[in-house]
A and B are shown apart, each in its own frame.
Chain A
């Protein structure tokens, strides 16, 4: 397992998703699969900064496990309890001119990941687990 811990601010956002991107490349995921897990990590970390810490100082732990056919990314933080899996997706049938500007990040996470689950840890932290499977050759 590989781990980094970043300060919960936008200045360090790219460290998180570039770290996951490097792990995804090492596992041999396709370009599309790499983009999907990188994007999901970005969206999740952005939500933690925005909704979890609300601009306050904090840290986000990024753990990445390489399995034979999947990459598992686990984000843990001590911000306000926030479960992105419960966020309602935007209605993409609504014309863009009348569509809300938010909610696209979680929609893309759900759409592009193979699994996404949230739990509150025993010590009250947020833990988000994201799985991207490697397509069979």
Chain B
């Protein structure tokens, strides 16, 4: 059975950023735990989130559905550009390819360095 562990780390940049460190696989059996954790953090006041994908070896469309929900939940969206509220850190080559295939890279910033990501919010 798939498993997904989510650690929450709070970082301070120009704004407070909630980092969700994902460890495991994101598929139809686990994606709701990502959505629920993000909703929980939003209720606690999180307005800026970074999904740390370093330890995600596999993600299906269910993971992108969760990402889409988080993107919508955080708001601050314009039709023309990337959201200032959500970022991705270190997706694998294969996950990056799917991000691009689905066009999510036009709306969500992707970073390869944690400090760079935090300071960009």
Query: A residues engaging B (CB < 8 A)?
Result: 10-14, 17, 31-32, 35, 38-39, 42-43, 46, 49-50, 92, 95-99, 101-102, 104-105, 107-108, 111-112
- Total residue contacts A-B, CB cutoff 8 A: 77
Q: B80's closest neighbor in chain A, by CB? A: A95
Contacting residues of chain B (74-121) with chain A, CB-CB under 8 angstroms: 77-80, 93-94, 97-98, 101-104, 106-108
Contact B25 A35 (CB under 8 A): no
Set of chain A residues within 8 Å of B52, measured between Cβ atoms: none
Give the contact-size bracket for chain B: 20 to 34
Interface residues of B (CB under 8 A from A): 1-2, 25, 27-29, 58, 60-62, 64-65, 68-69, 71-72, 77-80, 93-94, 97-98, 101-104, 106-108
Using CB atoms, name the residue of chain B closest to A95: B79
Q: How far is the CA of A98 from the CA of B71 in the complex (A)?
A: 11
Q: Are B104 and A13 in contact (CB under 8 A)?
A: no
**What are 23 contact pairs spanning A and B, CB under 8 A?**
A10-B29, A11-B29, A13-B2, A14-B1, A14-B2, A32-B97, A35-B94, A42-B27, A46-B27, A46-B62, A50-B28, A95-B80, A95-B107, A96-B106, A97-B72, A97-B77, A97-B107, A101-B65, A102-B65, A104-B64, A104-B65, A105-B62, A108-B102
- Give chain A nearest CB distance to B63 CB in angstroms: 10
Q: Is the CB of A11 within 8 A of B61?
A: no
- In the complex, the answer to whether B58 meets A38 with C-beta atoms within 8 Å is yes
In the complex, residue of chain A having the shortest beta-carbon distance to the beta carbon of B82: A96
